[in-house]
Structure 1
């Protein structure tokens, strides 16, 4: 059995290209599962111990980690679970953005400190997991959050104190022009994003900011990961 940790468009691409039938793709949201129609996908969010059990119960021989570049815990846990279980672990590494625009921040804390000093409308494209962190430095500014159109995402926003008019529930991918229209519509003075690479829409967001003269605030990744950036190479290893 091949176990693919999903959460990226590349995981969907791999699942559609794989020739063998004994594989499963796990994602943590039903929105992610919808992208896997016709593939062997399930919704499951596991910690380290659950991963070890999953590998054993499903006779997993290879774990392919294609989770989001910022899903650090999932990567750390899948690596350790594979080591404990004695199975092969392959990490897909999405290339970072090469855009030279905006301010780069090496940590969430550093980014928060900077945001706490700005004035204006701040448009966040960083997902739901950091909403409470950012809300803690909001002061008198308007914070707008673009999130996936799921009940869980909306509930997370509301429970974190975000006003309904400051929630943008939409599903990417987004073009430069679409981003521009959205940023302009909400009067964004700053756009906050993660460096999710070109496949993650970072380039389109940065270009939209460049054209509109908006300051892009970019959360960089941790130190460069070791892994494979070629989906074709991964296919050769598992098919």
Structure 2
């Protein structure tokens, strides 16, 4: 059985390895070299690296029996394109969901980065942006000197920070997920009053960020997760076992 897994996430890496262990032929598609590096190499798994158009996704799916979308919960466009490509290629599609996190009392929740930025523009104090480089433009109305973006250590991420006029001393280029101790240390070091994050669940280290914010007396600002339908890894693996002829 050939399965294509669109990944670049912790749960995608775990799922693809579990699937390969069952004897499936797994093709993992990741958007960036960093995603390929994290995926690593394993028998039964082939990695395709590079961003794909919906048409290229459909080509990649040719000959596959099943497709699993394990992209990030906030990667709405990617999920839409993958689902459309599966429809075009007439491939069975499954969306792997990441469990949501319970939000601590006192959390401020906004529909988008833009809405969060509107609120922050009327406040004072330093802001730790743990929302990724792609969201930086939304915070352009806030004094860059207040912003401390935590971004991936890639040239594209640094370039996005520079385009947003973030002072170099404010750029925190590192790869997560991060421990409670590191989150707290960064907030203490840079006198953070607001922590802006997505609900990345356990895989994204959400609880460690939330606890650090609470203990440092900082306001937790959460970008609402897009609503979606899907299945757990266990449910999709059961379907894969069925396709492979395994008994439950």
Please state which band the TM-score falls in when normalised by the shorter chain: over 0.9
Cα distance in structure 2, aligned partners of 1:159 and 1:190: 22
- The partner residue of 2:29 within 22, 26, 37 is 26
Deviation at 1:238, TM superposition (A): 2.1
Cα distance in structure 2, aligned partners of 1:164 and 1:141: 10
Cα distance in structure 1, aligned partners of 2:15 and 2:66: 14
1:222 aligns with 2:226: yes
Deviation at 1:140, TM superposition (A): 6.7
TM-score by length of 2: 0.89
Cα RMSD after superposing both structures: 1.5
1:132 aligns with 2:137: yes
> Match for residue 43 of structure 1?
49
Q: Secondary structure at the match of 2:34?
A: helix
Deviation at 1:75, TM superposition (A): 0.5
Q: After superposition, where does 1:71-220 map in structure 2 within 5 Å?
A: 71-101=75-105, 102-134=107-139, 136-139=140-143, 141-220=145-224
CA contact (8 A) 2:97 2:230 kept: yes
Cα distance in structure 1, aligned partners of 2:215 and 2:24: 46
Q: Which runs of 5+ in 2 are unaligned?
A: 242-248
Higher relative contact order (CA 8 A, sep 6+): 1
Query: How many equivalent residue pairs?
Result: 234
Moved more, 194-203 or 154-163: 154-163
Q: Secondary structure at the match of 2:133?
A: coil
Cα distance in structure 2, aligned partners of 1:194 and 1:140: 20
CA contact (8 A) 1:103 1:218 kept: yes
Cα distance in structure 2, aligned partners of 1:120 and 1:112: 13
